[in-house]
Amino acid sequence: MDFELKTLTRTLICSEKADALIVLIPEGLTAGDDALSVLAALAIKSGDLEVKPGKLLNAYRVTGIAATRVLLVGAGDASPKSVRTAVNAAMGALKASNNVQRAVLCLNALPTLQPEAVRAAIVACSETAYAYTTTKSKSAAAKLQQVVVAVDGLANAQAGFDKAVGLAKGIDLAKEWANRPANHATPTLLAGAAKELGKLPRIKTEVLGPKEIEKLGMGAFLAVAQGTAEPLRFIVLRYEGAAKAEAPVVLIGKGITFDTGGISIKPAAEMDEMKFDMCGAASVLGTFRALAELQPALNVVGLIPACENMPGDRAIKPGDVVTSMSGQTIEILNTDAEGRLVLCDALTYAARLKPRAVVDIATLTGACVVALGGVRSGLFSNNEALAESLARAGESSLDPCWRMPLDDDYAEGLKSNFADVANVAGRAGGAVTAAKFLQRFAADFAWAHLDIAGTAWKSGAAKGATGRPVALLLDFLLGQVQAVQAAQPVKASPKTRPARKSTPAAKTRA
- Give the residue numbers annotated as catalytic, written as ranges: 266, 340
Surface-to-core class of residue 457, CB atoms within 10 Å of its CB (0-12 exposed, 13-18 middle, 19+ buried): buried
DSSP bridge pairs for 475: none
Beta carbons of 389 and 473 less than 8 angstroms apart? no
CA distance 226 to 322: 12
| Burial readout 60-98 (b: 16 or more C-beta within 10 A, e: otherwise) | eebeebebbbbbbbbbbebbbbbbbbbbbbbbebbeeee
Query: Which residues are annotated as part of the binding site?
Result: 254, 259, 277, 336, 338
* DSSP class of 34: S
Q: How many CA atoms lie within 13 A of 238 on its CB side?
A: 14
**By C-alpha distance, which of 31, 9, 78 is closest to 43?**
31
Q: Residue 164 corresponds to which amino acid?
A: A
Beta carbons of 108 and 10 less than 8 angstroms apart? yes
Greatest alpha-carbon pair distance for the chain in Å reads 80
CA distance 389 to 479: 8
CA distance 241 to 354: 17
**By C-alpha distance, which of 246, 220, 281 is closest to 357?**
246
Stretch (H or E) spanning 7: strand 2-7
CA distance 214 to 221: 9
CA distance 507 to 8: 9
Surface-to-core class of residue 246, CB atoms within 10 Å of its CB (0-12 exposed, 13-18 middle, 19+ buried): middle
Residue 109 vs residues 11, 18, 56, 90, 351: alpha-carbon distances, Å? 12, 18, 16, 16, 50
| Burial readout 275-294 (b: 16 or more C-beta within 10 A, e: otherwise) | bbbbbbbbbbbbbbbbbbbb
Query: Which residues are annotated as part of the binding site for Mn(2+)?
Result: 254, 259, 277, 336, 338
Q: How many CA atoms lie within 13 A of 98 on its CB side?
A: 1
- Strands, E, within 81-169: which ranges? 102-106, 146-151
CA distance 169 to 6: 20
Concatenating the DSSP letter of every residue in 285-309 gives HHHHHHHHHH--S-EEEEEEEEEEE
